[in-house]
Amino acid sequence: MFNRPMLPTLSDNAPKSKEWSYEIKYDGFRVLLEWTKKGITLTSRNGKDLTAQFPEITNPDYMEPPADLPLILDGELVILNNPFQANFEHLQIRGRTKRKDKVDRLALKRPATFMAFDVLYYQDDRTGTPYIDRKKLLKKVINSVNHSHIQEVQAFKNWTEIYETAFEHLSEGIVVKKNNSSYTYNKRSKHWLKIKLWRTVSGFLSEYYPGNNYFTVEIFAEDKQVPLGRFKNGLSNEQGETLRTFFKEKGENWRLSPSIVVDIHCLGVEDSEFREPLFSNFRFDLKPGECTVDKLKWDLALLPENVEFTNEDKPLWPGGIRKRDYLVYLRHVFPYMKPFLKEKKLTVIRYPHGIGDESFFQKHLPEYAPDYVKGWKQSDGETALRADELSPLLWLGNQGALELHLPFQRAEAEHPDEIVFDLDPPDRSAFPLAVLAAQLLKYLLDKLEVHSFVKTSGGKGLQIHIPITEGSLTYQETRQFTEKLTSLLVKEKPDFFTTERLKKNRGNRLYIDYIQHAEGKTIIAPYSARATNEASVATPLFWSELTDHLSPSDFTIQNVIERIWDRGCPFESYDLCRELQPYETMKEL
């Protein structure tokens, strides 16, 4: 007999005491992973065998079996966008795919991860063991397995910390678990509670279906009514009866002209369908005409309430790209920018009235900044800007800070934590020179077993980033390293590359800037927008994307988020690679 996993109970409120722990709720397939001498099997909560559809988890080539088998883990099968947010749409595609060749291609493009949150059997049945002890055992087991696609779901002790983490990363929600609770198969328990991180969207009612009791919600796309999704849950008996009567008396064939505006809780909107919709309330303060695509994007962004946004419709770039578009971009891209902004001083270029007007640099915290915008106290008495939390970054975005520039070291450190080569062609038409230089540098770095990453500058060139552990190399040592590799490239292709700082002496050659990597200097942050006509973005790339057809103008604030959701972030393993660098080789070069 198949045992279904233990399930949490939906709740609006989370208990906040030492008796409870908190986990991120991932948007994926609930799965039991069983590891025996025959291999790994994946079974859904309804008993469906998913083993063949996720070879990156079950393939023997990936396996380092734990010391004792069998092993049974409970968890969520996901495709991660970032460490705390999953991509359910891509997972659904994988779940429906049957052909092995297509499964293998998808597994390579967007690999799945089994996020384990419980251990049910290891050396013995563990279901009767308290949750808090099972979590300790789980950590030990995951560490011993060393499987890159089997990870542990972290347990938080502090509600505020996990809520801020879930909110920043647009997670599905939070699961609250009682520390002394046992695990019970085939049961929905109140010792496990799930708190949804609702996105609340507005629309007007348009249709009612008597056969299944669903209501359709629509919005306006320009002047055309378009469906947003359907719902039936969340209404009280009285509210449901009132609406059905209204549709019957005022509607035509159960269809109503735009008049009643409602708020719907959901986890998102995909292909005119809500994800897990729940009626919230009537919006008598909103007119149907105010329910637009713009408002939908704003609502789904789940913006923090403590930031006051102003003049959202102000144009910032040509082509009608407004401040609201930029703010929504910043909100969605923040989880991918945060690792690079963390504990760094920030220099911004502000364009208060858009890129066609005046601009200025700003690196100090202004007196008029709200309390939630923090900074770094300096010895000269000034306070440097800091924006490694969501609200300060959005506040700066509202101020017209379009470009974000970062130093190569943490605010309170002496040594760098990354190396960057800046590949600067004479103009965009010469961008293929940057591609060639990056490919040659990649070849040299691979020979040295140095892990490297590449991004567009958002302007006309490319930048190669090398993550390093703080203190592993001094600025002098990184300078020797970059100068040596740069000299090799210039010697190999003197007609293509140069280290000449004066533009008038470069001719049509690409300038390899290694001098820029120094204390006090800055580089454009990954995923920062740029003040270009197309609103381009300094975009992390996969090395395979470096082709003659690549253009930095391909990546803008209007398409980079969709690109991340589709392909993942190329800098995902940036921090992990710090510990893998061959530091002695780099020093001796």
Closest CA to 323 of 334, 335, 309, 337: 309
Q: What angle do CA 311, 316, 321 make, to 5 degrees?
A: 95
H/E stretch holding 567:
helix 560-567
Return the DSSP state at 459: S
DSSP string for 99-138: -HHHHHHHHHHS--EEEEEEEEEESSB-TTS-HHHHHHHH
> And the tokens for 17?
């005491």
User: Active-site residue among 18, 25, 250, 587?
Assistant: 25
> And the tokens for 260?
């009643």
The beta-strand segments (E) located in 213-312 are 214-221, 224-231, 261-266, 269-270, 273-274, 278-282
Cβ burial 518-549 (10 Å sphere, 16+ → b, else e): eeeebbbbbbbbbbbebbbbbbbbeeebbeee
Angle between helices 293-300 and 323-341 (to 10 degrees): 20
Return the DSSP state at 410: -
Alpha-carbon torsion (159, 161, 162, 167), positive or negative: positive
Closest CA to 572 of 55, 243, 87: 87
H/E stretch holding 199:
strand 199-209
Active-site residue 25, yes or no? yes
Residues 6+ apart with CB under 8 A from 113: 57, 77, 78, 79, 80, 149, 150, 151
> And the tokens for 445?
């770095």
Q: Which amino acid appears at position 246 of this protein?
A: F
In the three-class reduction of DSSP (H, G, I as helix; E, B as strand; rest coil), residue 343 is classed as coil
Question: Which residue matches tokens 């291609």?
Answer: 105
Closest CA to 264 of 273, 277, 255, 252: 277
Cα 123 to Cα 547: distance, rounded to the nearest angstrom: 52
Residues 6+ apart with CB under 8 A from 552: 428, 431, 456, 457, 458, 459, 460, 461, 536, 539
Cα 172 to Cα 167: distance, rounded to the nearest angstrom: 9
The beta-strand segments (E) located in 304-362 are 315-317, 321-322, 347-350, 360-362
Q: Enumerate the active-site residues.
A: 25
